[in-house]
Structure 1
Amino acid sequence: MSLSAQLSEGGGAPEMGDLPSPSLVGSPTPALPGPPVPPAHRIYFYSSSEWETFIAEWATGVAVSYRQIKQLGGSGDRGVDIAAFKTDRGLEDAWDCFQAKHYAGSLSMSDAFPEMLKVFHGVTEAFYRLPDRYVFVAPKGCGASLNRLLSRPTALQKKFLELLDAEAAATRLYDAQTLQSIRQLAESSDFSIFQSLELNEMLDVHRTTPYYAARFGTSLPARPPVGQTPDAPAPSEAIYVKKLVDAYHEQAPATSSDVESASAHPKHGPHLQRQREAFYSAEAFRLYARDSVPEGTYELLQDDVYTGVVDTAEANHPSGLDRLRAVLTQSGQLDLGAHTLISMSNLKDRQGICHQLANADKLTWVAADE
């Protein structure tokens, strides 16, 4: 069974730890003449840090029930670049280690041996417990010799112990007592935890994450249809619906005093229904963004909509409904072309975002002095 298949067992969405929020509103890839550069070729030019970030993004797409994924590589990382935790106890409980090696060529046993020493040393010194999987991740993969060893855990264990006893160069970093502790642990360990991962497998999984389109400048996935708007407002709609009813009540206090009477009003009822449909369209858009683009991207769009309409909302208007109509009109005129997401939206989404902002108490239609 391939590593990708093994990692597909289980379920659950992990939390990404210590990775930066999206800093770009649109695609980070500039438009250049000539044929597009395939993702695999782009990866060959990554820095070591960018390669680690890519691996952390990839790990969010596997189906293992990770609670959190952390990028730990750097000085004093104890041989851990990417740690994927399966419980809230982090390194003290079940976890997987993804070791990033961005080399020009494929990995050999001479590359792997020092890293294996580090992980056994980390366990003997109680920095962490032995991971369930220790995966070497390199753009060019592992060489034939190392791949054969990784496919035969017993042979890999024998080779590791031979190098340990032969005092290979990497062992000079440890004193005799430490090496003896490492040997005792290695003799009792299951070397099937050491695995490798191919780049094509990684790209297949990364393509399913919210990071793929932004990282490689590809088209966003198709947006699913918006579901049916419920007949009655849900508790999560309470704030923005109340603000709409306040605007209707201002116009017709005798016949639009609450949701039920406003819904039955010949003019306000259809208007309320359209606003709720817009809200649900924006909610569907938000969920689509959650699964298609990096975390925080949709919130950046919301922030720009708010910035674009807040002055209109705070201006003087004859009534709350006039304020609402002016804000909705303004939302449709905003230049949001810098946002990659906007290509997947429609006018109803923009209006729905205004109601999301109202639901978050950032916009109000009937001002206190009206």
Structure 2
Amino acid sequence: MSLATQPHASGGAPELTDFPVPVVSGSPAPALPGSPVPPAHRIYFYSPDEWEVFITEWATGVAVSYRQIKQLGGSGDRGVDVAAFKTDRGLEAAWDCFQAKHYDGSLTVSDAFPEMLKIFHGVVDAFYCLPDRYVFVAPRGCGPTLNRLLSKPTELRKKFLELLDARGTVTRLYDEQALKSIRELAESTDFSIFQSLELNDMLDIHRKTPYFAARFGTALPARPPVEQAPANPSPGEAIYVKKLVDVYNEQDPASCTDVDSVAAHAKHGPHLQRQREAFYSAEALRLYARDSVPDGTYELLQDDVYTGVIDTAEANHSSGLDRLRAVLTQSGQLDLGAHTLISMSNLKDRQGICHQLANADKLTWVDTDE
């Protein structure tokens, strides 16, 4: 998608594609020397492609208000960069249009007029229905004249009709019948649908997404306290708990036959409880990551923990308990400093990740072949 496309008066129907998944990095954003650079100032120097990625990330923060958000593909965008659908009928029912522009200066009336023409032309040509909102999205916002007109819809419509009747360079892209139809539609349209979105407003939304800290190198939000593990294991714990029961059964076959008997055991019961607390700590970190860092960040951490402990797990051990202890000890010695989440984690999280891996059948403590 080009964020500064030229007007198109003809072409096929818009080709809409899903937003690409933003690139995930397990490493923190590089530190910049000197005073911190405010996010808005960084955005001013984005390339159009970088601005597009930012828009993609920002859209995830407003997606809860929409059934689906689509990105336009192809050069004939019909005046639509981002379409946000409010129903399952897409462009045929209620939707909002976000027109992204990354210019060196503020948007002017001459920038907005061709885009407004395109959206009206798309409607009269039945490519889509008129959006509920048509929002100009630019890092430096709108200039004073355009801002004033956007704040006074009646004057904006009057100005649009004047420019339309003047038959300037832009209008020459359309035939007379199209211009007549556009005028009729514009006369009956409430121009309050045309709005602008200021960068500070975008940043307020982006700040609530998992991408903000990674993009701008800011500190991660505070991590909520970890809830205590419930008294009884949940169905989601079944696999790793069963593997722990195998460990205790190997140590004391007569007394440790199932979860209940292990929980009542004077020695192994407290050990089991500590493992479950570690698992829940790691689960809390996983949920925190879901809301605080880009998708896939936590999985990258899990992968590195697995890589760091698997050789220890596959080595010869005299018992499953020795294997478990060796792996948990090894997890605490791993160099995971390249991972963003490490600053918000602790030793219990690392041990809990090992139990998550066991729950995913990637680690096993009792080797039945031994």
User: Normalized against structure 1, the TM-score is what?
Assistant: 0.90
The letter of the residue matching 1:118 is K
Aligned to 1:357: 357
SS of the residue corresponding to residue 65 of structure 2 reads: coil
SS of the residue corresponding to residue 60 of structure 1 reads: helix
Q: How does 1:311-350 map to 2 (within 5 A)?
A: 311-350=311-350
For residues 19 and 56 of structure 2, the distance between their equivalents in structure 1, rounded to whole angstroms, comes to: 10
Aligned to 1:26: 27
Q: Deviations over 1:9-36 (max 9, x none)?
A: xxxxxxx9423343422123x3333222
Aligned to 1:197: 197
Is 1:156 aligned to residue 159 of structure 2? no
Q: Deviations over 1:278-314 (max 9, x none)?
A: 1110111111111111111111111111111122222
Q: How does 1:216-365 map to 2 (within 5 A)?
A: 216-365=216-365
For residues 85 and 310 of structure 1, the distance between their equivalents in structure 2, rounded to whole angstroms, comes to: 46
**Cα–Cα, structure 1 residues 336 and 87, in superposed 2: closer, same or farther, change >3 Å?**
farther
For residues 21 and 148 of structure 1, the distance between their equivalents in structure 2, rounded to whole angstroms, comes to: 35
**Cα–Cα, structure 1 residues 178 and 361, in superposed 2: closer, same or farther, change >3 Å?**
farther
Question: 2:87–2:94: 8 Å Cα contact kept in structure 1?
Answer: yes
**Cα–Cα, structure 1 residues 285 and 127, in superposed 2: closer, same or farther, change >3 Å?**
same
Q: Deviations over 1:219-246 (max 9, x none)?
A: 1111111112111111111111111112
For residues 356 and 33 of structure 1, the distance between their equivalents in structure 2, rounded to whole angstroms, comes to: 38
SS of the residue corresponding to residue 213 of structure 1 reads: helix
Report the aligned-residue RMSD.
1.9
Deviation at 1:85, TM superposition (A): 2.6
Question: 1:136–1:196: 8 Å Cα contact kept in structure 2?
Answer: yes
**Cα–Cα, structure 1 residues 128 and 321, in superposed 2: closer, same or farther, change >3 Å?**
farther
Deviation at 1:58, TM superposition (A): 2.1
SS of the residue corresponding to residue 236 of structure 2 reads: helix
**Cα–Cα, structure 1 residues 129 and 248, in superposed 2: closer, same or farther, change >3 Å?**
farther
Q: Deviations over 1:73-114 (max 9, x none)?
A: 652332222222333433333222221111111111110111
For residues 45 and 155 of structure 1, the distance between their equivalents in structure 2, rounded to whole angstroms, comes to: 33
Aligned to 1:168: 168
SS of the residue corresponding to residue 247 of structure 2 reads: helix
For residues 129 and 234 of structure 1, the distance between their equivalents in structure 2, rounded to whole angstroms, comes to: 49
For residues 174 and 368 of structure 2, the distance between their equivalents in structure 1, rounded to whole angstroms, comes to: 72
SS of the residue corresponding to residue 77 of structure 1 reads: coil
For residues 46 and 69 of structure 1, the distance between their equivalents in structure 2, rounded to whole angstroms, comes to: 23
The letter of the residue matching 1:248 is Y
Farther off after superposition, 148-157 or 64-73 = 64-73
Aligned to 2:128: 128
Aligned length: 354
Deviation at 1:191, TM superposition (A): 1.5
Q: How does 1:30-69 map to 2 (within 5 A)?
A: 30-62=30-62, 65-69=65-69
**Cα–Cα, structure 1 residues 100 and 310, in superposed 2: closer, same or farther, change >3 Å?**
same
SS of the residue corresponding to residue 220 of structure 1 reads: coil
For residues 233 and 295 of structure 2, the distance between their equivalents in structure 1, rounded to whole angstroms, comes to: 28
Aligned to 2:71: 71
Any unmatched runs of 5+ in structure 1? 1-15
Q: Deviations over 1:325-357 (max 9, x none)?
A: 111111111111111111110000011111111
The letter of the residue matching 1:96 is D
Deviation at 1:259, TM superposition (A): 0.7
Question: 2:24–2:294: 8 Å Cα contact kept in structure 1?
Answer: no
The letter of the residue matching 2:28 is S
Is 1:90 aligned to residue 87 of structure 2? no
Q: Deviations over 1:44-86 (max 9, x none)?
A: 1011121122123223334852233333365233222222233
The letter of the residue matching 2:161 is L
The letter of the residue matching 1:145 is T
The letter of the residue matching 1:270 is P
Deviation at 1:127, TM superposition (A): 2.9
Question: 1:52–1:82: 8 Å Cα contact kept in structure 2?
Answer: no
Q: Deviations over 1:237-272 (max 9, x none)?
A: 111111111221122221111110111111111111
For residues 170 and 64 of structure 1, the distance between their equivalents in structure 2, rounded to whole angstroms, comes to: 37
Deviation at 1:322, TM superposition (A): 1.7
SS of the residue corresponding to residue 84 of structure 2 reads: strand
User: Normalized against structure 2, the TM-score is what?
Assistant: 0.90
Farther off after superposition, 275-284 or 93-102 = 93-102
For residues 76 and 195 of structure 2, the distance between their equivalents in structure 1, rounded to whole angstroms, comes to: 23
Aligned to 2:6: none
The letter of the residue matching 2:231 is D
SS of the residue corresponding to residue 240 of structure 2 reads: helix
Aligned to 1:11: none
* 4+ residue runs over 6 A deviation: none
SS of the residue corresponding to residue 244 of structure 2 reads: helix
